[in-house]
Amino acid sequence: MELSYYLPTGTTHEFAGYTSPVVAFDKLLELARVADESGFTTIWAPDHFIPFGPSGSFVFEAWTTLAALARETRTARLGQLVTGNGYRNPALLAKMASTLDVVSGGRLTFGIGAGWYEDEYRAFGYDFPGAGERLRRLEESLQIIAELWTGNPATFAGRYFSTDGAVNLPTGVQAPHPPVMVAGGGEKVTLRLVALYGDLCNVQESPDEVHRKYGILARHCETVGRDYSAITKTSTTYCITADTDDEARAAVPPWAQLVFPGDLAGYGLVGTIDTIRNRLDTYREAGVDELIIGFQNALDADTLRTFAAEFVR
């Protein structure tokens, strides 16, 4: 099982108290370099514009952040966890992804999802339709992006999006295109979209639930004629290390319920080193190929180094 890094861009108020955005961004660059040097497989950045909960602290935009990191790192892949489909035109996204793939020397994994943070949509003036429409919009976007990545003129007349002979050059470095992560655990639609369009999936739930939903994905793959084993199965978790399990459990942040369903303390990387080792085994046994890890001490580079020395290498 590969281990990857969830970059703290400010969504959980990591930069509360910072007065200089330059100093804050320099911290992000430091963390990315350490993650790269420590052997994490991918550096993932969340695509959000405001923090969860009250506003008032810095949040850095994912795509421009990753463009900067592409020139500061050497081996780690770079991706969005995940692009909110409603925030950018899909033809523009195809162009942005192709450019970032070039800037990074072919290290982009393109993450996308239907979007979920309604407060953010409303604050920035984006429509927030119901889940069904957001998923239909996502499917149209996936179709447009795939066509633009061929480099051929792309004409698409959808219900929500359209192109008229759009040409996207350069198409990027990776052939035939950057791998696509379609994120979300919706059983009827989202996992079907993974089977149709995704090279990776991301299910952010307990290992038991992750395993169950991978089984549903396998059935969708069978239905559409897709090789299930060709899809990289990922999940996301959170790490709190302490001298005792009780101490770690007590440190689970109040925002955890917003992004980690159920009892994070009971299934996340929360506890002593031995507990974390056992929890990693549980994710591995659930079928996770790549586990994406956020850290409680989010801005402490030594936390990354210590974890990597114990578990990554």
Mean pLDDT of all residues in 302-310: 96
Q: How confident is the model at residue 255 (pLDDT cuts 50, 70, 90)?
A: confident
The pTM of the full predicted model, rounded to 2 decimals, is 0.96
pLDDT of amino acid 55: 82
What's the pLDDT at 192?
98
Out of 3.40.50.2300, 3.30.200.20, 1.20.80.30, 3.20.20.30, select the CATH number for domain 2-312.
Answer: 3.20.20.30
Taking 90 as the threshold, does the pLDDT of residue 313 lie above it? no
What does the alpha-carbon distance between residue 233 and residue 211 come to, in Å, rounded to a whole number? 10
For the stretch 45-94, pLDDT in tens is 999 999 988 888 999 999 999 999 999 999 999 999 999 999 999 999 99
With 0-12 / 13-18 / 19 or more C-beta atoms within 10 angstroms meaning exposed / middle / buried, residue 88 is middle
Q: Residue ranges per domain, the chain?
A: 2-312
Give the model's confidence band at 195: pLDDT under 50 very low, under 70 low, under 90 confident, else very high: very high
Helix (H, G, I), strand (E, B) or coil at 232: strand
Average pLDDT over all residues of the chain: 97
What pLDDT digit, counting tens, does each position of 106-137 carry? 999 999 999 999 999 999 999 999 999 999 99
51-87 as b/e: b if 16+ CB within 10 A = bbeeeebbbbebbebbbebbeebeebbbbbbbbbbbb
Which DSSP state fits 77? E
- In this prediction, residue 258 carries a pLDDT of 83
Is pLDDT above 90 for 18?
yes
Sign of the C-alpha dihedral computed for residues 7, 13, 16 and 21 taken in this order: positive
Residue among 48, 31, 207, 15 at smallest CA distance from 116 = 48
- Whose tokens are 């192109």? That residue is 163
DSSP-derived 3-state class of residue 185 = coil
Residue 218 has pLDDT above 90, yes or no: yes
pLDDT at 257 over 90: no
Helices (H), 16-117: 21-38, 62-70, 90-103
Look-up: residue for tokens 């911290």? 27
